[in-house]
Amino acid sequence: MHHYVGLIVLFPLIGLIVNGLFGRHIRSERVVGWIGSLAVGIPFLVAAAILYGMLGSPVEERSNTVTLFTWIAAGSFQVNAAYQVDQLSILMTLIVTGVGFLIHVYSIGYMHGDRGFWRFFTYLNLFIFAMLNLVLADNYVLMFLGWEGVGLCSYLLIGFWYEKKFAGTSITWTGDAANKAFWVNRIGDFAFMLGMFLIFREFGSLTFSTVMDSASSLAPGNSTMFWITLLLFIGATGKSAQIPLFVWLPDAMAGPTPVSALIHAATMVTAGVYMVARNSLLYALAPDTMMIVAVIGALTAIVAASIGLAQNDIKKVLAYSTVSQLGYMFLALGVGAFTAGIFHVMTHAFFKACLFLGSGSVIHAMHEEQDIRKMGGLAPVMPKTYYTFLISSFAIAGFPPLSGFFSKDEILWSAFSQGSVLLWAVGALAALMTAFYMFRMVTLTFLGTPRWAKDKHPHESPPTMTIPLIVLAFLAVTGGFLGIPAALGGGNALHHWLHPVFERALDRLPTAHEYSHMTEYLFMLVSVVIGVSGFWFGRKIYLANPDADDTFAAKAGGVFRTLSRKYYIDEGYMRGIVNPLVATSDRFLSRVVDTALIDGFVNGLAKVTASFSGVLRLVQTGVVQSYASMIVVGLLLVLGLILLG
């Protein structure tokens, strides 16, 4: 079955071409929308068929490479357009196409009546195409192509409503937000490229299997491995919004909500997690980087979660929540629980996509209002949105037996058993904050008395929007059953499925301490208590007083303001990095280096040439006879050289 992997990538490409070239002339929104959706839906079915084929074959035969054509051949360096179909990539493909399909269908309803309807679906298909190349690539170069491709789509879609205003630090319209995302990602991409070069220098190849085979003979603690993995991780911090490069993601909410759901929650931002997991063996050989990954992950989780406590824009809350959840994933990868990280990628894709789409439904109903302080009491008006949103909130807060409970608990347990108590404590605190801000948001948005203006008439969204919500909510409930831990009597199917991919990496990691099931139960109980208390406080405080934020601001003004201003990180970057860079560019690079030195050199060269030619052009008299004389002189020289020389 794996031979058909090319089809998975082909369909989004077809959709992209059809909608991109002819979409403008297709009058019917439905046709455009369904072309775009099916271009993602059919690959999902193909991927499912491939998965079925893999389930029916023995473990050793599940990983295959399909080479389509030779892309770059230069001497001994060869890069193929080849797709690696294995347990990890097919899982990612299913997530990308499955969630992607639902979000495409949702967009048909959400983008109804938009001037750039066909453009939107073209970009979405382009994104899916690039993302599939990223996850299916069998080498770093093709992966990088997808990596840059999704970055481009992210840029295009953040600035999709390019004439719209968008407020932020040094940001006045959506184009600024798109530029910010692009530039911040560039830093990470540059590091990724450096890592790639280092890999090529070290292993002489950029194909995953070759690199991994050569790497498996190395001993852990190699300094080159440290730099390779660190550079790749810096690449991941850009794409996956980790400290210190996470600042672009909250501003990426300038894009349409389905984009936030698809690119900035479910798929693209998890590319970094996937990339680290794909290189798990290299990371296992660099324990120092693993430590950095874990610490950065935990820090991001708690910093982003705490900022999320004080945000009032419904999408901003979800954005910081995404950053925080991505932090969890890196925490898992850092302590060596690769499966747990990928598990959380999957469950997070379900519930976060559902939450974003739900928020989109709310924004749609409130006529582009995003401030949760101006909502309230929407539950009776839009029950489907409310209940799916609520279920997903429970899932992200870690209520058993919803999906978020299993994945988050596995991460926290790994952080404790394979990492340290400190990492666990940070993660647990972030989980408490997560539950709190989620239910603060649910309460402010859906419960209590309506605070919206009388002229607004909220309504439930059309079926193209609610059906994806229901499907995603269902997945958010059931998705966790793939990874029920052994302590609860589950088989942890996902763990066994992915084990062959991470086998060599896990062999090189120190074995985890063995703890009794009692300890594990205790930690689960703590997780549940954390989730429930966050839920209880968030609901109680904000149900009783929707303006509780004002009370906090009055009592702990400094702390509250720091949180709502995002620790002044954006301001710090502006003052510490951007402004000095701009000033240096303007005053030194532009005026001194460019204008004086480079222009001076180039213009000087031109002037010297001009003055020489001023002399030389006197030879060009315009009289044909003098040219003929020169021909004869040349003839004489040639003849003389031959005869006398």
Closest to other proteins by CB, 583 vs 637, is 637
Residues 6 or more apart in contact with residue 590 via CB below 8 angstroms: none
Query: Of 403, 404, 416, whose CA–CA distance to 294 is shortest?
Result: 416
Closest to other proteins by CB, 478 vs 626, is 626
Q: Give 92-159 as a DSSP string.
A: HHHHHHHHHHHHHHHHHHHTTT-TTHHHHHHHHHHHHHHHHHHHHBSBHHHHHHHHHHHHHHHHHHHT
Closest to other proteins by CB, 554 vs 624, is 624
Member of 167, 582, 598, 633 binding other proteins (CB under 8 A): 633
Member of 75, 511, 632, 645 binding other proteins (CB under 8 A): 632
Token couple for 160:
């999709």
Evaluate whether 318 touches 250 at the Cβ level (below 8 Å): no
Any contact of residue 626 with other proteins (CB under 8 A)? Answer: yes
Integer Cα distance of 354 and 357 in angstroms = 5
Query: Of 330, 266, 339, 268, whose CA–CA distance to 299 is shortest?
Result: 330
Q: Min. distance of Cβ 606 from other proteins in angstroms?
A: 17
Evaluate whether 462 touches 109 at the Cβ level (below 8 Å): yes
Q: Min. distance of Cβ 603 from other proteins in angstroms?
A: 21
Q: Min. distance of Cβ 645 from other proteins in angstroms?
A: 12
Token couple for 532:
């429930």
Closest to other proteins by CB, 556 vs 635, is 635
Any contact of residue 625 with other proteins (CB under 8 A)? Answer: yes
Any contact of residue 595 with other proteins (CB under 8 A)? Answer: no
Closest to other proteins by CB, 583 vs 628, is 628
Q: Min. distance of Cβ 626 from other proteins in angstroms?
A: 7
Report how far apart, in Å, the C-alpha atoms of 7 and of each of 43, 45, 408, 557, 574 are: 7, 10, 34, 57, 45
Integer Cα distance of 430 and 327 in angstroms = 10
- Give the largest Cα separation in the chain, rounded: 111
Any contact of residue 624 with other proteins (CB under 8 A)? Answer: yes
Member of 529, 598, 606, 636 binding other proteins (CB under 8 A): 636
Check residue 336 and give left, alpha or beta (phi > 0: left; psi -120 to 50: alpha).
Answer: left
Q: Which stretch binds other proteins (CB under 8 A): 248-256, 503-511, 533-541, 624-632?
A: 624-632
Let me know how many helices (H) and strands (E) the chain has, helices first: 27, 4
Member of 422, 522, 582, 628 binding other proteins (CB under 8 A): 628
Member of 25, 511, 643, 645 binding other proteins (CB under 8 A): 643
Q: Min. distance of Cβ 617 from other proteins in angstroms?
A: 6
Integer Cα distance of 124 and 153 in angstroms = 8
Q: Min. distance of Cβ 644 from other proteins in angstroms?
A: 8
Q: Which stretch binds other proteins (CB under 8 A): 385-393, 469-477, 504-512, 617-625?
A: 617-625
Any contact of residue 629 with other proteins (CB under 8 A)? Answer: yes
Q: Which x/- pattern, by CB under 8 A, does the window 177-196 give for other proteins?
A: --------------------
Integer Cα distance of 46 and 339 in angstroms = 24
Closest to other proteins by CB, 170 vs 609, is 609
Any contact of residue 639 with other proteins (CB under 8 A)? Answer: yes
Closest to other proteins by CB, 55 vs 624, is 624
Query: Of 207, 343, 200, 345, whose CA–CA distance to 272 is shortest?
Result: 345
Contact set for other proteins, span 110-169 (CB under 8 A): none
Any contact of residue 635 with other proteins (CB under 8 A)? Answer: yes
Closest to other proteins by CB, 595 vs 629, is 629
Evaluate whether 542 touches 440 at the Cβ level (below 8 Å): yes
Q: Min. distance of Cβ 602 from other proteins in angstroms?
A: 23
Token couple for 44:
């999902």
Q: Which DSSP symbol is given to 622?
A: S
Integer Cα distance of 89 and 80 in angstroms = 17
Any contact of residue 623 with other proteins (CB under 8 A)? Answer: yes
Contact set for other proteins, span 405-434 (CB under 8 A): none
Q: Min. distance of Cβ 627 from other proteins in angstroms?
A: 8
Residues of this chain that interact with other proteins (CB under 8 A) are: 617, 620-626, 628-629, 632-633, 635-636, 639-640, 643
